[in-house]
A and B are shown apart, each in its own frame.
Chain A
Amino acid sequence: DTGVSQNPRHKITKRGQNVTFRCDPISEHNRLYWYRQTLGQGPEFLTYFQNEAQLEKSRLLSDRFSAERPKGSFSTLEIQRTEQGDSAMYLCASSRGTSGGPTYEQYFGPGTRLTVT
């Protein structure tokens, strides 16, 4: 299967701990997106990369959050000093695309469910 994969699928952590999630996009996709989805709500945009460059960050992405895509392939999302309000599903998506070019569909991974106790 060559879809978007995310690891781990579930993470339970204590408040104040750091956590890191990984996303592997579809191999030919140069764009990678992170979203956060709380229970019963639609996903909210966090950040996105085109190749290795982080092009946009939401104001939701506080300074405790950092995302990287060092070689333009997989990406990691780290949350430092987790808070209970960080409990959510973290979704990764990928697509083709270039700045100013056509809009392509985003394909989503299964998500990482974070529970902060």
Chain B
Amino acid sequence: AQTVTQSQPEMSVQEAETVTLSCTYDTSENNYYLFWYKQPPSRQMILVIRQEAYKQQNATENRFSVNFQKAAKSFSLKISDSQLGDTAMYFCAFNNAGNMLTFGGGTRLMVKP
């Protein structure tokens, strides 16, 4: 069974600065997908970024980028130029067969003005 661990329950960052959220996972699979989802307060979960394990290049989406270290089973999310609207719970998730997502426990990010 796969497990996903987010070791930072809460983080804060000043507006316009950069923050990195950590995620590690455990799997014996070789082909899989990793995702970061954002869940704003009282709002629905939205996809931030995805990474295919077979791709060596780290995914980027505007201010969001990942540092994918397959050997270390690490998948961190970097948010540049943080904005107040980035305040949310962030979940790292793993998917290896197009079926269920396995989520980490989440990191609550607060962006301070």
What is A's interface to B at a CB cutoff of 8 Å?
33, 35, 40-45, 48, 55-56, 58, 91, 93, 97-111
Bound together, the chains give a CA A60 to CA B21 distance in angstroms of 29
A91–B89 CA distance with the chains assembled, in angstroms: 15
Q: How many whole Å from A47's CB to the nearest CB in chain B?
A: 9
**A55 contact from B45, B46, B50, B99, Cβ within 8 A:** B99
Q: Main SS of the interface on chain A?
A: loop
Nearest CB in chain A to that of B43: its residue: A110
Known: A40-B106, A42-B4, A42-B103. 9 other contacts (CB 8 A): A33-B101, A41-B105, A45-B102, A56-B100, A91-B45, A99-B98, A108-B37, A108-B44, A108-B46
Q: What is the CB-to-nearest-CB distance from B4 to chain A, in angstroms, rounded to a whole number?
A: 8
What are 8 residue pairs bridging A and B, where the CB atoms are less than 8 Å apart in the complex? A33-B101, A42-B103, A43-B101, A45-B102, A100-B98, A103-B33, A105-B47, A109-B44
* Chain B residues in 8 Å Cβ range of A101: 98
B98 pairs with A97, CB closer than 8 A:
yes
Question: B interface, how many residues as a size bin?
Answer: 20 to 34
Chain B positions within 8 Å of A91 at CB level: 45
Is B91 part of the contact surface with A, judged by Cβ < 8 Å?
A: yes
- Point out the residues of chain B lying under 8 angstroms from A48, CB to CB: 99-100
Bound form: Cα–Cα A55–B99 in Å: 9
Q: With a CB–CB cut-off of 8 A, which chain B residues contact A40?
A: 106
